[in-house]
């Protein structure tokens, strides 16, 4: 049976609720996927893995001077806690991480531009800052229409030391700077929490080469406030169509389908899956196909090749042959293909997005990642190509992609895995 955008859309609609790591809703989404797989006559397994995250009990931020005003903030999970009752500190706007600014940061709570990176965090620790504040949203946000997300101080940062950290609305930050704030009161209490998240895994054994495994993956979790239809129920329904294709056309090689939990906390599901592959089984995993973001009416198709450059040419030729418009680039993508590539399994990422009117992070990871921006046709167009491509790979006489990770990709992977920004993606 051919790809059916309507069927994809229906499943996507069923999954269109907030599915945060470790919640009952993430579990509910896992069961929707397992039910769908069961309806195809296969059995999926829900494989648990442990997540170390945190909760925030209290996050408060107030300007003390020149005039008292309290602001709504979220606290970074797993950041440093303040004393009970909070602390008063001087405040500054650390516009950039240069020597001039850093020399003034000692003992101060600093407001920064953009995300906190591991490099900049290290500089801030060395400068002796008392805490930092990041800004979310835009200067034209309206409180009723936007949400302030809760972030996590990732281990790649906290390993350098701890300090309290907060996230504030851009509009409030602007007001604070215009008020000439010099002193603030902060309070943060956060505690570590361990819980289980799950991958949904199912396998179709290869008819001729069962010992060669192609992995197919998409994450099914979403972030706070986001129904996550574009990111990434769309990828799930793409992979589900590929699964359906191989149920109907038994594959030469073994196909493993994994719907990952907790991607948004730092690729945790795929990291757990890849870490659990025994050393002697690893060489059998010849390739990985990942789908992350798709189905948006506005936008364009793309393929990120985390593999030998020859695969870019292969995809370009095949796209021309089938009349499929797509950007093709050799790169890593901030998604579940990364842990595979890190252990030597080459990969490709199929996506559709980047359309106008949905500026980057303003759309992604917000309540506006909603089904009205998605269409069955836009889902199907990428999926049809992904199915055709996967069919060729899985059934090839000789597996065409070298099982190597090129040097430039290796360097990108190392950089990415060591210097992941403080927030998801």
Q: Does 423 sit near Zn ion (CB under 5 A)?
A: no
From the list 93-101, 103-111, 229-237, 385-393, the region that binds Zn ion by CB under 5 A is: 229-237
Q: Does 292 sit near Zn ion (CB under 5 A)?
A: yes
Give me the residues paired with residue 214 across strands. 255, 287
Q: Does 383 sit near Zn ion (CB under 5 A)?
A: no
**Residue of 294, 279, 272, 335 whose CA lies nearest to 46:** 272
Q: Does 326 sit near Zn ion (CB under 5 A)?
A: no
Kindly report the number of other CB atoms within 10 A of residue 388's CB atom: 17
* Joined tokens for residue 277: 């592959």
From the list 6-14, 56-64, 154-162, 290-298, the region that binds Zn ion by CB under 5 A is: 290-298
In Å, the largest CA–CA distance within the chain is: 75
From the list 27-35, 50-58, 228-236, 377-385, the region that binds Zn ion by CB under 5 A is: 228-236
Q: Does 369 sit near Zn ion (CB under 5 A)?
A: no
Least distance between Zn ion and beta carbon 348 (Å): 16
Nearer to Zn ion, 222 or 326 (CB): 222
Q: What whole-number distance in Å separates Cα of residue 408 and Cα of residue 331?
A: 9
Nearer to Zn ion, 82 or 349 (CB): 349
Least distance between Zn ion and beta carbon 280 (Å): 31
From the list 67-75, 251-259, 286-294, 303-311, the region that binds Zn ion by CB under 5 A is: 286-294
Residue with tokens 């870490």: 275
Helix (H) or strand (E) holding 102: helix 99-102
Cis (ω within 30 of 0) for the bond into 232?
yes
Least distance between Zn ion and beta carbon 235 (Å): 7
From the list 76-84, 98-106, 244-252, 287-295, the region that binds Zn ion by CB under 5 A is: 287-295
**Residue of 176, 191, 185, 245 whose CA lies nearest to 52:** 191
* Joined tokens for residue 143: 């409180």
Q: Does 232 sit near Zn ion (CB under 5 A)?
A: yes
* Joined tokens for residue 266: 């730092």
Q: Does 231 sit near Zn ion (CB under 5 A)?
A: yes
Q: Does 26 sit near Zn ion (CB under 5 A)?
A: no
**Residue of 138, 250, 156 whose CA lies nearest to 203:** 250
Interacting residues with Zn ion (CB under 5 A): 231-232, 292
């Amino acid at each position: 049976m051919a790809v059916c955008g309507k069927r994809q859309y229906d499943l996507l609609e069923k999954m269109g609720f907030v599915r945060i790591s470790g919640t009952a809703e993430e579990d509910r989404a896992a069961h929707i996927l397992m039910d769908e797989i069961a309806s195809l006559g296969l059995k999926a397994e829900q494989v648990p893995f442990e997540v170390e995250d945190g909760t925030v009990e209290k996050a408060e931020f107030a300007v003390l001077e020149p005039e008292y005003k309290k602001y709504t903030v979220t606290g970074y999970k797993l950041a440093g806690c303040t004393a009970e009752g909070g602390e008063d500190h001087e405040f500054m706007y650390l516009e950039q991480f240069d020597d001039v600014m850093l020399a003034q940061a000692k003992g101060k709570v600093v407001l920064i531009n953009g995300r906190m990176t591991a490099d900049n965090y290290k500089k801030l620790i060395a400068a002796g800052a008392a805490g930092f504040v990041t800004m979310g949203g835009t200067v034209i946000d309206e409180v009723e229409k936007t949400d302030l997300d809760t972030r996590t101080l990732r281990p790649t940062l906290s390993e350098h030391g701890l300090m309290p950290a907060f996230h504030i609305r851009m509009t409030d930050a602007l007001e604070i700077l215009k008020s000439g704030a010099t002193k603030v009161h902060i309070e943060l209490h956060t505690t570590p929490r361990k819980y289980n998240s799950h991958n949904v895994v199912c396998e179709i054994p290869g008819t001729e080469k069962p010992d060669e495994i192609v992995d197919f993956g998409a994450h099914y979790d979403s972030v706070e406030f986001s129904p996550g239809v574009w990111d990434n129920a769309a990828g799930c329904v793409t992979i589900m169509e590929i699964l359906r294709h191989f149920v109907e056309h038994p594959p030469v090689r073994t196909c493993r389908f994994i719907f990952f939990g907790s991607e948004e906390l730092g690729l945790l599901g795929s990291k757990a899956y890849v870490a659990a592959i025994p050393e002697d089984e690893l060489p059998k995993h010849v390739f990985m196909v990942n789908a992350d973001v798709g189905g948006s009416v506005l936008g364009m198709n793309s393929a990120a090749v985390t593999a030998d450059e020859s695969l870019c040419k292969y995809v370009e030729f095949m796209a021309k042959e089938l009349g499929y418009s797509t950007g093709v680039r050799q790169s890593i993508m901030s998604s579940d293909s990364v842990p595979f590539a890190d252990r030597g399994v080459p990969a490709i990422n199929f996506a559709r997005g980047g359309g106008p009117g949905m500026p980057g992070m303003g759309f992604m990871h917000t309540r506006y990642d909603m089904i009205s921006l998605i269409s069955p046709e836009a889902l199907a167009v990428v999926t049809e190509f992904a199915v055709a491509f996967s069919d060729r790979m899985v059934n090839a006489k000789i597996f065409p992609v070298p099982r190597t990770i090129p040097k430039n990709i290796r360097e990108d992977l190392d950089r990415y895995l060591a210097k992941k920004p403080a927030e998801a993606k």
